[in-house]
């Protein structure tokens, strides 16, 4: 199962996201759930790096992605970063809703 854990700041913005595991929806290479999670997480990491010029905003490994909001961002850059991360979270929540036995989404 893919587990998504999200921590938010007092203002509701995401400050930490961890995505871990494999869905086991189908065999390796045919797993549409794992593919969806991978595309969502990797696209946002690329956007954070390429569009916002954040260096190493996330740790990415096989079956694992961890993002922490970088400290010291100016207000505009923090808002853009939050918007990109919220976009990823929306996709992950909908994937969890569509495949509840394969993706678990939790916010603290």
pTM for the complete prediction? 0.93
In the chain, the domains with their CATH numbers are 2-107 (3.30.70.1490)
* pLDDT tens track for 6-34: 999 999 999 999 999 999 999 988 999 99
Mean pLDDT of 45-69: 92
How large is the angle between the packed helices 75-98 and 32-50, nearest 10 degrees? 180
Percentage of the chain beyond pLDDT 90 is 94
Mean pLDDT of 64-81: 95
Distance of CA 44 to the CA centre of its chain: 7
Mean pLDDT of 95-108: 97
């Amino acid at each position: 199962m893919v587990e998504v854990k999200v921590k938010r700041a007092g203002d509701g913005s995401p400050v930490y996201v961890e995505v871990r595991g494999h869905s086991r929806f189908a065999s390796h290479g045919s797993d549409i759930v794992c593919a969806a999670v991978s595309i969502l997480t990797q696209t946002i990491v690329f956007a954070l790096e390429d569009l916002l010029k954040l260096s190493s905003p996330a740790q990415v490994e096989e079956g694992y992605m961890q993002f922490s909001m970088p400290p010291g961002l100016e207000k505009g850059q923090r808002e853009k970063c939050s918007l990109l991360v919220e976009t990823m979270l929306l996709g992950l929540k909908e994937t969890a809703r569509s495949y509840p036995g394969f993706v678990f989404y939790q916010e603290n």
